[in-house]
């Protein structure tokens, strides 16, 4: 008889630690992908990036979709991909693009089939994190700080409709992951793995 260590989990035998897919929402630079990958690893769940899934389905980059077809077409494709991921795929951690949660139908699909977590970041943090990156079509249309400030005004009231809110600031990504895990534990009433066990959780600022 073969035995496995307490940390061993396989897709065939392990039950997901969460009852539904966790969908990370927020502005570009909020850390959705970086936090999402770490959170997925901590919870032994797959990580999916909506933008990557869209590019794979379209066979081109998001910037190319914007330039060729315009934003309405992109949002339609985005809506279809995200709905499929939260509705039909096994439980996972999903990072979405900054504008995804603004679409009412996408928002409704996430609400029905998943749990949304808003990673809220202040303007200075977003500007610093998006600097020197040229693959974001919206930021290529003018001064990034001005554009991000306008997006904060437009989008934060909608992001506030998310199920949970977690501050994403200058702390190391693993520290933000701890905050997300805290929020998930409180919401679902369950215990999840923390870095180094429960003592490390208590020491997290």
Average pLDDT, the chain: 87
Angle in degrees, CA 190, 85, 26, rounded to 5: 70
Write down the pTM of the prediction. 0.85
- Residue-wise pLDDT for 115-136, tens only, equals 999 999 999 999 998 876 655 6
- Residue-wise pLDDT for 78-128, tens only, equals 999 999 999 999 999 999 999 999 999 999 999 999 999 999 999 999 999
**Contacts of residue 89, Cβ cutoff 8 Å, sequence gap at least 6:** 21, 48
| pLDDT: which is higher, 65 or 195 | 65
Beta bridge partners of 166: 119
pLDDT at 192: 94
Spell out the long-range contacts of 101-109 with Cβ–Cβ below 8 A and sequence spacing 24 or more: 101/25, 101/155, 101/158, 101/159, 101/161, 101/162, 102/154, 102/155, 102/158, 103/75, 103/78, 103/79, 105/79, 106/75, 106/78, 106/79, 106/82, 107/158, 107/161, 109/79, 109/82, 109/83
> In which band, very low, low, confident or very high, does the pLDDT at 199 lie, cut at 50, 70 and 90?
very low
Listed residue (103, 187, 68) closest to 81, CA to CA: 103
Question: What is d(CA 108, CA 183) in angstroms, rounded to the nearest whole number?
Answer: 21
- Residue-wise pLDDT for 38-58, tens only, equals 999 999 999 999 999 999 999
**Contacts of residue 93, Cβ cutoff 8 Å, sequence gap at least 6:** 21, 22, 24, 36, 37, 39, 40, 43, 45, 46, 47, 48
Mean pLDDT for 55-65 is 91
Residue 2 pLDDT exceeds 70:
no
- Residue-wise pLDDT for 142-180, tens only, equals 688 999 999 999 999 999 999 999 999 999 999 999 999
């Amino acid at each position: 008889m073969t035995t496995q260590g307490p940390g061993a989990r396989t897709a065939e035998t392990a039950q997901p630690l969460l009852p539904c897919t966790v969908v990370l929402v927020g502005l570009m630079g909020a850390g959705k992908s970086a936090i999402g990958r770490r959170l997925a690893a901590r919870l032994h769940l797959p990580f999916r990036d909506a933008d990557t899934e869209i590019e794979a389905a379209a066979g081109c980059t998001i910037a190319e979709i914007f330039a060729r077809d315009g934003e309405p077409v992109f949002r339609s494709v985005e809506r279809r991909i995200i709905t499929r991921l939260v509705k039909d795929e096994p439980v996972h951690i999903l990072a979405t693009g900054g504008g995804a949660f603004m679409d009412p139908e996408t928002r409704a699909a996430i609400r029905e089939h998943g749990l949304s977590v808003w990673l809220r970041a202040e303007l200075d943090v977003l500007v610093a994190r998006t600097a020197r990156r040229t693959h974001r079509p919206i930021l290529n249309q003018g001064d990034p700080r001005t554009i991000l400030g306008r997006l904060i005004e437009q989008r934060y009231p909608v992001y506030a409709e998310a199920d949970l809110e977690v501050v994403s600031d200058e702390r190391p990504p693993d520290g933000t992951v701890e905050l997300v895990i805290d929020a998930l534990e409180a919401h679902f009433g369950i215990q999840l793995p923390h870095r180094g066990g429960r003592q490390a959780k208590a020491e997290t600022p």
